[in-house]
Amino acid sequence: MTSSVVEPCTFEDMQVDLEKNVQQDVRSQWVLNAPEPPSPWHVALDSFRKTVSNYREKTSSLSDQSCGTLLLSVLHVVFPILVWGRSYTVAKFRKDFLAGLTIASLCIPQSIGYATLANLAPQYGLYTSVVPPLIYAVMGTSREIAIGPVAVVSLLLSSMVQKLVDPSTDPIGYTKLIFLATLFAGIFQTSFGLFRLGFLVDFLSHAAIVGFVAGAAIVIGLQQLKGLFGITHFTTKTDIISVLKAVWEAFHNPWNPHNFILGGSFLVFILTTRFVGKRKKKLFWLASIAPLVSVILSTLVVFLTRADKNGVKIVKHVKGGLNPSSINQLDFNSPHVVDVAKIGLIVAVVALTESVAVGRSFASIKGYQLDGNKEMMSIGFTNIIGSLTSCYVATGSFSRTAVNYAAGCESLISNIVMAITVMISLQFLTNLLYYTPIAIIASVILSALPGLIDINEAYKIWKVDKLDFLACAGAFFGVLFASVEIGLLVAVVISFAKIIVISIRPSTETLGKLPGTDLFCDVDQYPMAIQIPGVMIIRMKSALLCFANANFVKERIIKWVTQKGLEDDKGNSKSTIQLVILDTSNLVNIDTSGIASMEELYKCLSTHGKQLAIANPRWQVIHKLKVSNFVSKIGGRVYLTVEEAVASCKSNHF
Amino acid sequence: MTSSVVEPCTFEDMQVDLEKNVQQDVRSQWVLNAPEPPSPWHVALDSFRKTVSNYREKTSSLSDQSCGTLLLSVLHVVFPILVWGRSYTVAKFRKDFLAGLTIASLCIPQSIGYATLANLAPQYGLYTSVVPPLIYAVMGTSREIAIGPVAVVSLLLSSMVQKLVDPSTDPIGYTKLIFLATLFAGIFQTSFGLFRLGFLVDFLSHAAIVGFVAGAAIVIGLQQLKGLFGITHFTTKTDIISVLKAVWEAFHNPWNPHNFILGGSFLVFILTTRFVGKRKKKLFWLASIAPLVSVILSTLVVFLTRADKNGVKIVKHVKGGLNPSSINQLDFNSPHVVDVAKIGLIVAVVALTESVAVGRSFASIKGYQLDGNKEMMSIGFTNIIGSLTSCYVATGSFSRTAVNYAAGCESLISNIVMAITVMISLQFLTNLLYYTPIAIIASVILSALPGLIDINEAYKIWKVDKLDFLACAGAFFGVLFASVEIGLLVAVVISFAKIIVISIRPSTETLGKLPGTDLFCDVDQYPMAIQIPGVMIIRMKSALLCFANANFVKERIIKWVTQKGLEDDKGNSKSTIQLVILDTSNLVNIDTSGIASMEELYKCLSTHGKQLAIANPRWQVIHKLKVSNFVSKIGGRVYLTVEEAVASCKSNHF
């Protein structure tokens, strides 16, 4: 191959060139005669058809079977437990039983705390730990997820619903709206799965989730200060400034340190056991039961010392008994029904994001794949049933799933064990919770928060991608200083703005020939690449040549080529350039503004007696250039590679 | 070169392979040891530094000179007329004089009509045709632009400002806000130029402008029905349904056909002269003076027949005299000042878009370049001065610029001639306008509208780019059925949504080897490309591998590779695939979610005993893959080309 393109042509070179010309012409024809790419409707229709045929295939493969087998097949798809349940063993059950008890011990105080965070009576948190895990256990495809109320969703729900109805003045109306939001969230989640809209969960980028969860953890922690310090007058706002102001004001009124002493000492106890558990894997169970032990011990202390009479705040009455029906509480004639539907949509996405992220990370550890669409349907159905049985939005909890996995769970049976344990507590043990100090509940929740703040991951994001870190920081500070919704909004906006900026960044790179190859690469990325005198080879750094950048790129190229005496970074004069080659290999698409700019570029180069050639256009690009007659305007100078463009234009004695 | 990679390896092949391996390793090192790409801040800082140094260079080149020359240099930059004025000749002036008179004859009726469209008294339109052309003539860099009031901006201004103050009840307050909006528009335009934000003008895509202008033309035409039919009670809304309803209702009340007969017959006259002028270039002047002739003739007819007493609506009093000062009318303490600033921003962008588009298209015809930033400063300064001298927003008019060019203008002197002509009319001839029928003004404006509706261009957009056509149609129907602002909003939103969809479309293409080359191309685009058995070569169709598509792509690849018996479109079983090569050549960037997905993909492929290799990563991509340790995780299997990846993995007996 001629690596001598840089030197002046000899007679032999020209002969080789002539032979190559024939091949090049053939290849140029390949580029120009490519079949027409599918139109946008075609692509959309095709994707729709695939979804439908996917369902139809499933149905038709079923319809071949007899009625009984058909029913069984459907049941197997809807209730995976019927499949994996058949290979379930006693050995597995022993592990699941222990894991179930472990997560139940963590679940009871957490449920009460999260219900308080959601401005609901404590029993609703416990209810949400009964029905949803049972439903999910028979429908879900993950093996480790622990279903129930979670902190972020509780916070998000309360911060949005309390704007519609004040929970302190109208707790019944507020609770009704929460159930309605839960129903809507369930319906949205189910339909996401049904219509295979799994990508909606991906709309929150990894970086945004890291920032959002860390910010939410701090906000949740700040909310616990009310319980930990036993503050009576607190703010309903969630931003850090309002909360710290409320705490500061509380300190200026007489306050009772007993709450803090009790809560603080048990918080130290829980954190110590966790530290020990992390060091010595055998003592892992210590960390797992520490929250329950704290609850029992502190309740005993308060009961024996009657500390509640000295200002220690206690849970007081928790309504016992199993989940009552809440069908009659779903009020579709509420004036807020549209707002509640919106809240349901936001909560649905956030809850799914958490659950799918948790499920995927543990599935990846155990080496199996999670079906995102089936997962969404299971969680959605769980919440629909939940909204009818006095539960609020449930999803996969990060902290309890981690404990479930560490406790050695084998299947979703551990969720059933947990649900039955909570059920027994609801039925028989609610009276014992009367003297449980609120400060302990706060401590249990506080102890789960450090796991949500992933500084290492944030540092890794900073190292790898500065703009991603911006989304992460934006979500974090948005949640912290404004509100949970604004944090979410900031995260989504920054993530999509980043996509736009990268896609249309009006920037170009100059290509040079890599020594010993026919390849042309960015001279900045590959400093050994050699630029060819008299030829300017340019590649867009963006993925689109469109209205937002085409004009800039055009003007820059014209400036480079036409201004005399202008030198590039390496001191080559650009005034002698006779040929401009546009390497369009990374242009995914072009629009009419882009084509118009290229036409103007061609016109301008022509008036200065310079040539223009296109190398390696993608499918959509060459199609549009052909349809708009641009290819015929530039005399068909379209080539498969930059090398062929250089060689062809050289041999044509431009 | 071995084109035999598809066949089983012979001993010779293996020897060749061995030699090539050494080169490949060197090239892999090139890929891996590329210098670090500049970080986002670096790029931003660099761009900022360039802007500053650009100004500093200009200043420093000036500061070397003596005080007098320095002043002269600055004046030359600010007032280009001092440069081109020196080579101005009497021959040129003769042409400019004729062109100036021609556009003045078009300008006077148009100015009165556009002022009415902007809900202002007629003289304000004439004022706007005096001061702005004079200022622009000494500052502008275009040679053909005719400055003055334009239809779209008049419509946009009135439709937005009348939401703040009703012009029918408080015309003085309304006019004050218009001046304030003009001042803000001028300030915004000047600062766009000063801070080199020329790209803001590109935010309306070509397709969106075509649709928007066509929609606005129809809306403006509909507004003229009031004058043409002499309707007294009209709507203040601009959408087609409200206007047609108002016209329909007017017909059900007694109405005077004289207005329509007069206006309609002169409209036919103007359109006929234009048709003749287009056919015979020599009769071009006929079309140019037809509007003025119509005004004069119809005024005479009304004056002689006293038709105004029979219900023909006339302009009546037009305040004579030159532009009064409006400094005292700029009320910064108005409660609407923030809204007016917003209106100023929108109008600034739309006015600049029209002016720059007009200027560029004629500069391109005459073969010179327009400096976008200098243009924005000139137009901005023009409007600032305009707001102080009773003018509203002026910009380059499409119809008058076209006439100016056709009349053979040579420089901006034709603008000065036009301004002086309008000035004389204001001083001495306003009394003659008293009997001018409003229907004629409407006819003059109506006759200019067909040029704004470019059906050919819309068809071309449809043919080339269906999504662009969607933006075009969205802007068109938005303006027509909702309002001017909503039309603009729809256009911008569709344009940017399109960028996002194209950039993150979760789709992949399979690559095959082009016969007789080392190149691997999309098998759909190049049907002659041959897929290599046992190797799956995949390229993303999007430009980014990011949170929004990474998971989808990952799952699809895993599904393809791991499901047994699955066949692709060409009937090749994919279950035997041993090597997956990701051609990342068109990935402009990757984010942390994308890297996480690739890590999961690698983990999953590994557990199935399959390999993963990366070919031709771009600068940002390889940098991030290196920083996040992904490269070392996959054992450094990164290659410069797909061919080398295939060869290397084959020789390593994977």
pLDDT for A317-372, tens place per residue?
A: 788 888 899 888 888 888 899 999 999 999 999 899 888 888 887 887 777 777 78
C-alpha closest to that of B365 among B104, B138, B82, B145: B145
Q: Give Cα separations from A520 to A613, A644, B616, B640, B648 (angstroms).
A: 15, 11, 12, 11, 21
Tell me, yes or no, if A322 comes closer than 8 A to chain B by beta carbon.
no
C-alpha closest to that of A429 among A159, A126, A175: A126
pLDDT band at A125 (very low <50, low <70, confident <90, very high): very high
Q: Where are the alpha helices (DSSP H) in B130-256?
A: 131-139, 151-161, 171-194, 206-229, 240-252
What is the ipTM for the molecules in this complex? 0.77
pLDDT of residue B236: 78
* Neighbouring residues of B186: CB distance < 8 A, sequence distance ≥ 6: B348, B379, B380, B381, B382, B383, B384, B385, B386, B387
Task: Provide, rounded to the nearest whole percent, the portion of chain B with pLDDT above 90.
Answer: 22
Structure tokens, B440? 């004629």
How far is the alpha carbon of A90 from chain B, nearest alpha carbon, in Å?
Answer: 29
pLDDT, tens digit, 9 for 90 and up, residues B352-371? 988 888 888 788 777 777 77
How many CB atoms are located within 10 Å of the residue A119 CB?
A: 20
Cβ atoms of A130 and A392 within 8 Å: the answer is no
C-alpha closest to that of B389 among B7, B143, B130: B130
3-state secondary structure of A389: coil
What is the rounded average pLDDT of the residues A637-641?
87
With residue B632 as reference, give the H or E element that holds it. helix B630-633
How far is the alpha carbon of B198 from chain A, nearest alpha carbon, in Å?
Answer: 9
Question: Which of A 205-244 lie inside 8 A of B, CB atoms?
Answer: 205-208
Q: Where are the alpha helices (DSSP H) in A5-78?
A: 11-32, 40-63, 67-78
Parts of chain B belonging to CATH 3.30.750.24: 11-30+505-651
pLDDT of residue B43 exceeding 50: yes
pLDDT, tens digit, 9 for 90 and up, residues A258-298? 888 889 999 999 899 888 888 887 777 788 788 888 988 99
Homologous superfamily in CATH for domain A505-651 = STAS domain (3.30.750.24)
Structure tokens, A282? 């055998």
User: Residue B578 burial by CB count (10 A; 0-12/13-18/19+): exposed, middle or buried?
Assistant: middle
Kindly report the backbone phi and psi dihedral angles of residue A183, in degrees, each rounded to the nearest multiple of 5, phi listed first: -60, -45
- Radius of gyration in angstroms for the set of CA atoms belonging to chain B, rounded to a whole number: 32
How far is the alpha carbon of B521 from chain A, nearest alpha carbon, in Å?
Answer: 9
pLDDT of residue B574 exceeding 70: no
Question: Which of A 519-538 lie inside 8 A of B, CB atoms?
Answer: 519, 522, 524-528
Place of tokens 């220690």: A312
pLDDT of residue A223 exceeding 80: yes
pLDDT band at A97 (very low <50, low <70, confident <90, very high): very high
Q: Do A499 and B504 touch (CB under 8 A)?
A: yes
pLDDT band at B4 (very low <50, low <70, confident <90, very high): very low
pLDDT of residue B415: 94
CA B31, B36, B40 angle in degrees (round to 5)? 130
pLDDT of residue B2: 38
Structure tokens, B82? 């001092």
Q: Do A203 and B548 touch (CB under 8 A)?
A: yes
pLDDT band at A573 (very low <50, low <70, confident <90, very high): low
Q: pTM (2 decimals)?
A: 0.76
How far is the alpha carbon of B123 from chain A, nearest alpha carbon, in Å?
Answer: 38
pLDDT band at B10 (very low <50, low <70, confident <90, very high): low
CA distance A350 to A396: 11
Q: Residue A593: list chain B partners with CB under 8 A.
A: 202, 205-207
* Neighbouring residues of B337: CB distance < 8 A, sequence distance ≥ 6: B180
What is the rounded average pLDDT of the residues A302-308?
86
- Going by their DSSP bridges, the two strands B579-583 and A579-583 should be labelled as unpaired
pLDDT, tens digit, 9 for 90 and up, residues A323-335? 899 888 888 888 8
Cβ atoms of A287 and A273 within 8 Å: the answer is yes
CA distance B560 to B566: 7
- Radius of gyration in angstroms for the set of CA atoms belonging to chain A, rounded to a whole number: 32
pLDDT of residue A161: 93
Q: Residue A641: list chain B partners with CB under 8 A.
A: 519
- The residue in chain A having the minimum alpha-carbon distance to the alpha carbon of residue B204 is A547
pLDDT band at B1 (very low <50, low <70, confident <90, very high): very low
Q: What is the mean pLDDT of chain B?
A: 84
Tell me, yes or no, if B54 comes closer than 8 A to chain A by beta carbon.
no
CA distance A242 to B506: 42
pLDDT of residue B191 exceeding 90: yes
What is the rounded average pLDDT of the residues B322-350?
90
Lowest mean pLDDT among A65-69, A237-241, B585-589: A65-69
The CB-side HSE value for B639 (13 A sphere, CA atoms) comes to 22
Tell me, yes or no, if A37 comes closer than 8 A to chain B by beta carbon.
yes
pLDDT of residue B348: 93
Q: Residue B546: list chain A partners with CB under 8 A.
A: 205, 499
* Neighbouring residues of B639: CB distance < 8 A, sequence distance ≥ 6: B24, B27, B28, B31, B613, B614, B615, B616, B645, B648
C-alpha closest to that of B544 among B494, B582, B505, B493: B505
User: Residue B614 burial by CB count (10 A; 0-12/13-18/19+): exposed, middle or buried?
Assistant: buried
3-state secondary structure of B611: strand
Structure tokens, A149? 């109320």
Question: Which of A 593-652 lie inside 8 A of B, CB atoms?
Answer: 593, 595-596, 600, 603-604, 607, 618-619, 624, 627-628, 640-641
Task: Provide, rounded to the nearest whole percent, the portion of chain A with pLDDT above 70.
Answer: 92
pLDDT of residue A450: 85
Q: Where are the alpha helices (DSSP H) in B437-483?
A: 438-448, 455-464, 466-481
CA B166, B169, B175 angle in degrees (round to 5)? 60
Task: Provide, rounded to the nearest whole percent, the portion of chain B with pLDDT above 70.
Answer: 92
Tell me, yes or no, if B395 comes closer than 8 A to chain A by beta carbon.
no
Residue B505 or residue B213, greater confidence: B213
CA distance A122 to B475: 53
Q: Could you name the CATH architecture of B11-30+505-651?
A: 2-Layer Sandwich (3.30)
User: Residue A171 burial by CB count (10 A; 0-12/13-18/19+): exposed, middle or buried?
Assistant: middle
* Neighbouring residues of B139: CB distance < 8 A, sequence distance ≥ 6: B78, B79, B80, B81, B377, B378, B381, B382
pLDDT of residue A596: 86
Tell me which residue in A585, A592, A619 faces B585 most closely, judged by beta carbons.
Answer: A585
Parts of chain A belonging to CATH 3.30.750.24: 505-651
Question: Which of A 295-314 lie inside 8 A of B, CB atoms?
Answer: none
Structure tokens, A9? 């042509």
Report which listed range, A42-56, B2-16, B503-517, is most confident.
B503-517
pLDDT of residue B320: 82
CA distance A172 to A119: 11
What DSSP line would sit under A99-160, residue for residue? HHHHHHHHHHHHHHHHHHHTT--HHHHHHHTTHHHHHHHHH---SS-EEE--HHHHHHHHHH
C-alpha closest to that of B224 among B474, B454, B465, B439: B439
CA distance A218 to B56: 48
